[in-house]
Amino acid sequence: MEKAEKTRTLAFFDTKPYDREKFDELSPKYGFNLKYIESKLGPQSAVMAEGCDGVIAFVNDTINAETIERLYNMGIRVIALRSAGYNNVDFKAAYGKIHVLHVPAYSPYAVAEHAMALLLALNRKIHRAYTRTRDHNFSIVGFTGFDMYGKTVGVIGTGRIGRVFVDICRGFGMKVIAYDPYPSPDSGIEFVELDKLFRESDIISLHCPLTKETHHIIDERALSMMKDGVYIINTSRGALIDTEALLEAIKSRKVGAVGLDVYEEEADFFYEDVSGDILEDDKLARLLTMPNVLVTAHQAFLTREALDNIAQTTMENLRAFFAGEPLPNEVCYYCGKISTCDRLHKERCF
């Protein structure tokens, strides 16, 4: 590891206590000075990066055209996302102005294991049992689950996380079918058409990115095709599911249980303590009242190993940027359009 030529100051937005330990350890080794900011990055808070050489942002920050323009006008030329997801970035606005880097893989095990934890808790009613026994109520009435052995789980998206989840499910003796627009023929996974997955799965788990094609991939039509009592797990992106359609399917008993680590409008709530406020999001409030819905606040990534990998990759991404090196973890306006991109990260996107 080679230190940057001079100490660079980086504005670190949406800081949480668990972020700082590893970044504090690594930043001096890389020659970086981190300016920790508790506020999320957005058009109004962007001014806090004044005088900095770059920005470290997170998945729920608002990195729209206005934010990008303000950062660019302050002389900032790099945004390092400490996340794999980047659907919160306006790449068209950033192209030619600010390089955007991300952490493509920090721990697929962390997210896949959390997805299974949600499934197990819902099936065996662990979340409800915990509350009941704390009140010294030791009745187990209403806690009947089912054997997961032999059940069919449909996995949508078979990237790193999806494949780890497939392996975990196989360990439980479950039958796995999967859908991916780019199936890997040598993966040993049984790929099926999406409608077939909807019809045959007892459990459906989402492990795909949010794109125009996957937005509301679980909608009223998809839900109507599913088995009565289907379990749905989402640890990917909230907007993969049409929340209103999901609520109706839960109320009609079409959906048996739902485990969500993400939510369509999570940016205003997740990672924050709003316990003293009235929850103004009616859809989220309704989900939280349902005994067969388990919501966690986008914490699937939160393991020690993942935090270490996130910090290491983020620092390395920034070191490479300031050293003038190629940026293998850069994302740009053309990255998703392979036919029009001749760089493929062998050199910078612009």
pLDDT of residue 2: 53
The reply to whether 108-295 shares the fold of 8-106+303-340 is yes
Q: Dmax over Cα atoms in the chain, in whole Å?
A: 66
Q: What is the CA radius of gyration of the chain?
A: 21
Query: Which pLDDT does position 31 carry in this prediction?
Result: 95
Contact (Cβ atoms closer than 8 angstroms) between residue 337 and residue 70: no
CA trace torsion 68, 301, 152, 123 (10° rounding):
-120
Domain-wise residue ranges, the chain: 8-106+303-340, 108-295
Percent of residues, the chain, with pLDDT higher than 90 = 87
Catalytic one of 8, 82, 216, 237: 237
Closest C-alpha among 314, 333, 299 to residue 89: 333
* Integer Cα distance of 219 and 252 in angstroms: 15
Q: Specify whether 237 is catalytic.
A: yes
pLDDT of residue 338: 47
To the query of whether residue 244 is one of the catalytic residues in this protein, the response is no
pLDDT given for residue 342 in this prediction: 65
Q: Where are the alpha helices (DSSP H) in 31-94?
A: 65-73, 91-94
Residue 343 is predicted with a pLDDT of 65
Residue 214 phi, psi (nearest 5): -100, -5
What is the reported pLDDT for 185? 86
CATH of domain 8-106+303-340: 3.40.50.720
DSSP result, 308-328: HHHHHHHHHHHHHHHTT---T
Q: Which CATH class is domain 108-295?
A: alpha beta
pLDDT value at residue 19: 93
Is 134 a residue of the active site?
no
User: CA 68 to CA 46: how far, in whole Å?
Assistant: 9
Kindly give the parts of the chain with pLDDT less than 70.
1-5, 336-345
Say which of 113, 264, 266, 316 is annotated catalytic: 266
Among residues 8, 99, 163, 298, the one annotated as catalytic is 298
184, HSE (Cβ side, Cα atoms, 13 Å): 10
Predicted pLDDT at 337: 58
- Cβ burial 50-84 (10 Å sphere, 16+ → b, else e): eebbbbbbbbbbbbeeebbbbbbeeebebbbbbbb
Q: What is the pTM of this model?
A: 0.90
pLDDT (tens digit per residue) in 61-116: 999 999 999 999 999 999 999 998 898 999 999 999 999 999 998 999 999 999 99
Could you tell me if 320 and 327 are in contact, meaning their C-beta atoms sit under 8 angstroms apart?
yes
Residue 124, CB half-sphere, CA atoms under 13 Å: how many? 9
Pairing of strands 54-57, 78-81: parallel
The three state secondary structure string of 271-286 is CCCCCCCCCCCHHHHH
* Under 8 Å between Cβ of 262 and 234: yes
CA distance between the termini of the chain: 25
